[in-house]
Amino acid sequence: MPKKVDHEARRLEIAEALWRIASTRGLDGVSLRDVAAEADISLGRLQHYFRTKDEMLVFALRHINVLADRRIRERIDAVVSDLDEEPPPRTVLRECLAGMLPLDDKSRVGTLVGAAYFARAVHDERLRAEAREGIPKLAEFFAGLLRRAMERGEVSADRDPDDEAMLLISLVDGLTAYTLLEVHTPERALSLLDLHMARLFGR
Amino acid sequence: MPKKVDHEARRLEIAEALWRIASTRGLDGVSLRDVAAEADISLGRLQHYFRTKDEMLVFALRHINVLADRRIRERIDAVVSDLDEEPPPRTVLRECLAGMLPLDDKSRVGTLVGAAYFARAVHDERLRAEAREGIPKLAEFFAGLLRRAMERGEVSADRDPDDEAMLLISLVDGLTAYTLLEVHTPERALSLLDLHMARLFGR
């Protein structure tokens, strides 16, 4: 294996050990040593790949987002039958938002890593940078879809796409939190999202 | 001081030490010993009041909710001039929801303790019980206000008060998270909440 690929592969293995801990007992009080033990490597070896817990957490979060993107793309491809046509913006938006909810084991792990990230990032300026960069990008992407939907007459022209995008992201974030806390089921979270979407799209 | 009052007063002092830690560096990896040091008492003395970190966290969370309730009640009293009249349900709902956002230092500490609670509760069945009991009660209270608003013709009769209540709570939760992550300002969070409210109340 070329050296660079090997390096990335090792980092991924370590990230996966971190996910396993995040999805079972959480990352509160977890040390680099704990992650090394879970990955079955020495602490020194782990530190060759990640110097700090936060560096590891951001890597794990980014990679989990890449995997989520891939899953969402597959879901969109599955529902859009004719690949030559532009997929309806509503479909893309709905699949993206549904993909952010903990509806199955894979997305559940993603949201649990997200919860661990959130708890640390509120107290860590460098960790917050990840959200401050990523969320506006996501909001911009959603606003673009909403603008397209408005051009197609599917969303009322008096809506502000940027406001609506941030409302959707915030709503999904809260629905996710209450799913993880078992206040409601994943199915209920999805149906509430669909209710909000139906109103946004005027039906 | 009577013994019971004294016991509660000591527990409050310890909870305040926990809040100070929660609002500065967070509770990740914080031990009972750390809280005892912050409260300037011995570990043994702290354990006389709280046996575990979780017990302390739930107490701190409940008390912070009591304080938030009090602040919200004061805000409602301040905007409702004639105390003989029923306060408009929209006003009560809006002040409650705004009071849940981190708009000032006090509510900010509350949401930071909430964030620490969230990170632990997703992995702890007993801690989740707190949310599983509290959130449906809050949702029921909000649904009652929405029902009253529907009777007054202020909310369309085709809305489901239980769904709308949970949408509002989830939205505020997400808006709070992105405020703490500095993705948007507290003012932006409030204006997005007001936008959603304006739509719910049909203007």
Question: What is the interface pTM, i.e. ipTM, of the complex?
Answer: 0.91
pLDDT attached to residue A65: 84
Does the pLDDT at position A12 exceed 80?
yes
Using an 8 Å Cβ cutoff, are B34 and B14 in contact?
Answer: no
Q: How far apart are CA A18 and CA A36, in angstroms?
A: 9
Using an 8 Å Cβ cutoff, are A39 and A31 in contact?
Answer: no
Does the pLDDT at position A17 exceed 80?
yes
What are the distances in angstroms from CA B123 to CA A24, A182, B4, B27, B169? 7, 11, 33, 15, 22
In chain B, which residues touch A (CB < 8 A)? Answer: 24-29, 112, 115-116, 118-123, 128, 131-132, 135-136, 163, 166-167, 169-175, 177-178, 180-184, 188, 192, 195-196, 199
Residue A183: closest C-alpha in chain B: B132
Residue B171: closest C-alpha in chain A: A171
Q: Is the pTM of this model over 0.95?
A: no
Q: How far apart are CA B56 and CA B14, in angstroms?
A: 8
The counts of H helices and E strands in chain A are: 9, 0
Using an 8 Å Cβ cutoff, are B45 and B68 in contact?
Answer: no
pLDDT attached to residue B187: 98
Residue-averaged pLDDT of chain A: 90
pLDDT attached to residue A28: 75
pLDDT attached to residue B35: 93
Question: Tokens representing B21?
Answer: 């830690």
pLDDT, tens digit, for every residue of B40-89? 999 999 999 999 888 888 888 888 888 888 888 888 888 776 666 778 99
Most A CBs within 10 Å, among B108, B118, B181, B184, to test the A interface? B181
Does the pLDDT at position A84 exceed 70?
no
Does the pLDDT at position A75 exceed 90?
no
Per the listing, tokens 């304006």 go with B198
Q: How far apart are CA A52 and CA A63, in angstroms?
A: 17
Residue B180: closest CA among B126, B113, B131, B132: B113
Per the listing, tokens 């051009």 go with A151
Residue A32: closest CA among A48, A46, A16, A13: A46
pLDDT attached to residue A2: 65
Percentage of chain B exceeding pLDDT 90 = 55
Does the pLDDT at position B32 exceed 80?
yes
The torsion of the CA quartet A26, A32, A36, A41, rounded to 10 degrees, works out to 170
Question: Tokens representing A102?
Answer: 């903990």
More confident residue, A172 or B61: A172
Please tell me the least confidently modeled range out of A177-186, B109-118, B156-165.
Answer: B109-118
Does the pLDDT at position A125 exceed 80?
yes
